[in-house]
Amino acid sequence: MKNKLQREFRAKFASSGEPLVVWAPGRVNLLGEHTDYNDGFVFPMAIDAGIAMAGALNKSDRVNLYSLNYDVQDSFALQDIVPSDKKNWSNYIRGVCREFQSAGFEPQGMDIVIYGNVPQGAGLSSSAALEVAAAVLLTTLHDFAVDSVSLIKMAQRAENDFVGVASGIMDQFASMMGHKDHALFLDCRSLDYDLVPTPFEQHGYAVAVINSGVRRGLVDSAYNDRRQECMDAVRLLTKDLPKITALRDVTVEDLPLVNALPQLLAKRARHVVTENNRVLSGIEALRAGDLVTFGQELTKSHRSLQNDFEVSCPELDLLVDLSLGQPGVLGARMTGAGFGGCTIALVPRERLAEFEQRVTADYAAKTNLTAEVYVFGASHGAMLLS
């Protein structure tokens, strides 16, 4: 990938100097969905698919972008960074540049070539990988002194404030801090994290990721509505639980109070409270090598996302049910924000080919859609490739 990007960069921007190449991974979330913006717990795994960027300073006041995936260019002036209505993919980079300016840095003009192999719109966080790669590239090209957590926060603000998606910090954190053969247990309030070994392979299992072919559109989805509903639930719960500031502070022992909320808010809050608990119990099971219990937590998570948080869709539900019907599968759930995208399943490695054939055939017969199955490895986080 590095050599290809360098060649493409020289072809597109012949007058620029030798480019630096950076890479940032996508992620698949194993457990902890819609808990991050509730100050809760998440358990993502950086994957060995991501976004690579080749870039060099160009001694101008403009940033020139070329996307290999789309075969399109874009350009914007650093003096007045505004969102693009026509080239939405560039807004993630525009937003990151503006965040550097807001933090007191002065980015110079750059030429950048971008290539990604994360499936778009699949819930594998291609947007966060794009933001994190841009943040690492800017830091490296300009020799800015910025620590990793600050870069993560800048990337998140670019998505929140510039792109307009009220996402939590999990995706950017996983893309920056991922580690090979480990998943990341993250406390989204304190940003304390722990690397947890992924023992799937040694037990003969793999995490299969199944793309439903139903494309998500976070900006246009009900994602922001769910965030508001969680905030509304907290506001009502403070009457009985005055010390809470987020649903993170509500425990399973408090579920009777949650269930007494107006029905819609009760469902939303119940998912977050039980999902935080599933993250903790799922990690405990993984550390003990208990994949059966871990798989059960995956399936419980999906039913909660399906029925309480209502961010699934018929296609995702079908993929989960088809996966659970295959021999040896220990658990399955949707992953990502929902409304389309991907599911995951814990599948015996020796049955992966059979699993893929059966699930994709049955899914196509019922939906006329083509599902794609991937098996990703747990990857290192963002890094300089050259």
Residues 157 and 216 both lie in one domain: no
For residue 125, the enclosing domain spans 2-195+380-384
Q: Residue 217's pLDDT band (boundaries 50, 70, 90)? A: low
Give the least confident one: 7-16, 70-79, 266-275.
7-16
What is the pLDDT, as a whole number, of residue 121?
66
Return d(Cα 158, Cα 128) in angstroms, integer. 10
Residues 177 and 285 both lie in one domain: no
User: What is the arithmetic mean of pLDDT over 27-39?
Assistant: 95
User: Looking at residue 185, which CATH number applies to its domain?
Assistant: 3.30.230.10
Residues 115 and 232 both lie in one domain: no
All residues at 6 or more sequence positions from 33 whose CB lies less than 8 Å from its CB, including other chains? 275, 301, 305, 309, 311, 333, 334, 335, 336, 337, 338
What is the pLDDT, as a whole number, of residue 360?
98
Mean pLDDT over the full length of the chain: 94
User: What is the arithmetic mean of pLDDT over 212-231?
Assistant: 80
Residue 122 has pLDDT above 90, yes or no: no
> Which contiguous run of DSSP H or E holds residue 187?
strand 182-187
User: What is the arithmetic mean of pLDDT over 164-184?
Assistant: 91
User: What is the arithmetic mean of pLDDT over 6-27?
Assistant: 92
Return d(Cα 31, Cα 204) in angstroms, integer. 20
Residues 128 and 37 both lie in one domain: yes
Residue 302 has pLDDT above 80, yes or no: yes
User: What is the arithmetic mean of pLDDT over 160-167?
Assistant: 87
Residues 270 and 171 both lie in one domain: no
Strand order in the sheet with 342-348: 332-335, 342-348, 205-211, 372-375
CB 291 within 8 A of CB 200: yes
Residues 203 and 95 both lie in one domain: no
Q: Residue 231's pLDDT band (boundaries 50, 70, 90)? A: very high
Residues 190 and 208 both lie in one domain: no
Residues 217 and 317 both lie in one domain: yes
Residues 111 and 87 both lie in one domain: yes
What is the pLDDT, as a whole number, of residue 339?
87
What is the pLDDT, as a whole number, of residue 219?
43
CB 381 within 8 A of CB 178: yes
Residues 164 and 223 both lie in one domain: no
Give the chain's domain count: 2
All residues at 6 or more sequence positions from 362 whose CB lies less than 8 Å from its CB, including other chains? 322
What is the pLDDT, as a whole number, of residue 294?
98
User: What is the arithmetic mean of pLDDT over 292-314?
Assistant: 97
CB 346 within 8 A of CB 209: no
Question: Hey, which residues are catalytic here?
Answer: 171
- What is the value of pTM for the model shown? 0.91
What is the pLDDT, as a whole number, of residue 221?
63
Q: What percent of the chain has pLDDT over 70?
A: 97
Q: Which residues pair with 67 in a beta bridge?
A: 72, 114
Return d(Cα 82, Cα 105) in angstroms, integer. 18
- Tokens at 237, concatenated: 């719960």
Query: Pairing relation of β-strands 332-335 and 383-384?
Result: unpaired
User: Looking at residue 295, which CATH number applies to its domain?
Assistant: 3.30.70.890
Q: Which residues pair with 27 in a beta bridge?
A: 46
pLDDT in tens, 66-121: 999 999 999 999 999 999 998 989 999 999 999 999 999 999 999 999 999 987 76
Residues 203 and 190 both lie in one domain: no
Return d(Cα 330, Cα 342) in angstroms, integer. 17
Residues 162 and 208 both lie in one domain: no
Burial label for 55, CB within 10 Å (0-12, 13-18, 19+), is buried
CB neighbours of residue 53 within 10 Å:
27
